Structure 1
Amino acid sequence: MQHVDHAILKKSIGYQEYHALIEQLLSQSHYLSLKSIENDTHDTRLNLIRMERLDKTARMTAQTRLQIAVIHTPQIWLTLTEVWCCDAAQIVPTIQKMAALNDKIEHRLVFRDQHPELMDAFLTHGTRSIPLTIILEKKSLKVLGHWGPRPQELQAFVLDNLQDLNKIKDEQEHKTRTAEFLTKVQRWYAKDKTYSTQKEFLEVLKKA
């Protein structure tokens, strides 16, 4: 995909709207009571906590500040996400903080499941993996580059573990091992302190 349709941008929301939407969903009794999304509700609540923590504690590196400061052509960073996505809770606040360093950059968000045609243009190993941020020239909506769904080191860890998990036939063991795996992923993010996300996103920006 060389350009993003203006109609998609019209349906996008800002970071604060995204944050407010999560709070709204978690306050609605019918959303909380739907058994089909019980796990998603639990993840969404944890994600809100993670986002709020990063909003307060994530620090941008000197290199991040320097490189983003020299962007002179207006850009839109369009992030594909979903409120239940645990990786999005770690990545989206970081992208938002980076975008906020330069008033020529606007960070917008759209939901993956509402835009399959957009998601399918940016598959990761054939999968609709999120979050994924598309860098656009604001005037033309030309695609300059994209990054996601997670830092390379963590991505390799995730892919290796998913292969192992898919081989487990026992339901209870699969559940237990999955929980352990997800805990390790969150520990990786906590230890990394957003630095890998910043570094890799800057590399994409250089090429853009």
Structure 2
Amino acid sequence: MNVKKPVFSYIEFYEWMVQLVNNKQTSGEKQTENLIQFTELNLSRMKRLNKTTKLIPELENLVTGLKKPQVWYVITEAWCGDSAQNLPVIGEIATAGDKIELRIVLRDENPELIEKYHTNGSKSIPKLIAFSEKGVELFTWGPRPKPAHDLVLDWKENPAGRDFEALEKELHTWYAKDKTQTLQKEFLHLLSALKN
């Protein structure tokens, strides 16, 4: 896959987020106060998930038993709230065994890449694309677990007086209650479906 730098591992991305927050910045050219605040909030979410994420045994066993190498690309940005909720878990999955190489790339640096992987016609992130070592696409995932995605789609179709801030609160409350379980089960299903 042809991507523009920077390309991060999960640890490198997290450390870069720390630098951005320390410098009161975000990723990309748009350095708005809102996006900078989202980045700071996202770092605290990631920090919490780095400490609390524990893989369900079935998923951990499946990942440690993988025989064939995979390369996972995650397209994201530092200000993305869904990324902060999901990327630490994806990082944990990727490092549970030795067959998954995780590469995190920035959406706005790679417009031609996100154009290939729209969700319902939009450039929603995070978006994960998994490849075999020979470059065959294995599966895609994103931008969020299905129940969370349904919540967003429902809001778009019928906001019922809820503004974006209300949606954000509802969405992140869902993430907090779910405790990464749905995301992990989705990856268990995706990886189980592969002929390994």
Determine the structure 1 residue equivalent to 2:141.
Answer: 147
CA shift in 2, pair 1:35/1:133, >3 Å: closer
Post-superposition shift, 1:206?
Answer: 2.6
Amino acid at match of 1:204: L
Q: 2:84 aligns with which of 77, 89, 93?
A: 89
Amino acid at match of 1:80: I
> What count of residue pairs does the alignment treat as equivalent?
192
Distance 2:179 2:30 in 1: 34
Distance 1:67 1:198 in 2: 12
Post-superposition shift, 1:35?
Answer: 9.1
Q: Percent of aligned pairs with the same residue?
A: 36
Distance 1:204 1:93 in 2: 18
Map 1:9-88 → 2, pairs under 5 A: 11-28=6-23, 31=25, 37-88=32-83
Residue pair 1:145, 1:207 contacting (<8 A) in 2 also: no
Q: Secondary structure at the match of 1:133?
A: strand
Distance 1:9 1:96 in 2: 21
Determine the structure 2 residue equivalent to 1:136.
Answer: 131
CA shift in 2, pair 1:62/1:9, >3 Å: farther
Describe the superposition over 1:97-124 as per-residue Cα deviations: whole angstroms up to 9, x where unpaired: 0111111211110001111111111111
Distance 1:198 1:207 in 2: 14
**2:165 paired with 1:179:** yes
Residue pair 2:5, 2:105 contacting (<8 A) in 1 also: no
Post-superposition shift, 1:10?
Answer: 6.2
Ranges of 4+ aligned residues in structure 1 off by more than 4 Å: none
**2:193 paired with 1:207:** yes
Describe the superposition over 1:126-168 as per-residue Cα deviations: whole angstroms up to 9, x where unpaired: 1111111111113x22211111111111111111112334x86
CA shift in 2, pair 1:114/1:88, >3 Å: same
Determine the structure 1 residue equivalent to 2:111.
Answer: 116
- With normalisation by structure 1, the TM-score equals 0.85
Post-superposition shift, 1:53?
Answer: 0.3
Q: Secondary structure at the match of 1:71?
A: coil
**Greater fraction of residues in helix:** 1
Post-superposition shift, 1:197?
Answer: 0.5
Residue pair 1:136, 1:144 contacting (<8 A) in 2 also: yes
Residue pair 2:126, 2:143 contacting (<8 A) in 1 also: yes
Amino acid at match of 1:147: W
- With normalisation by structure 2, the TM-score equals 0.90
Post-superposition shift, 1:12?
Answer: 1.4
Amino acid at match of 1:105: I
Distance 1:106 1:37 in 2: 33
Post-superposition shift, 1:75?
Answer: 1.1
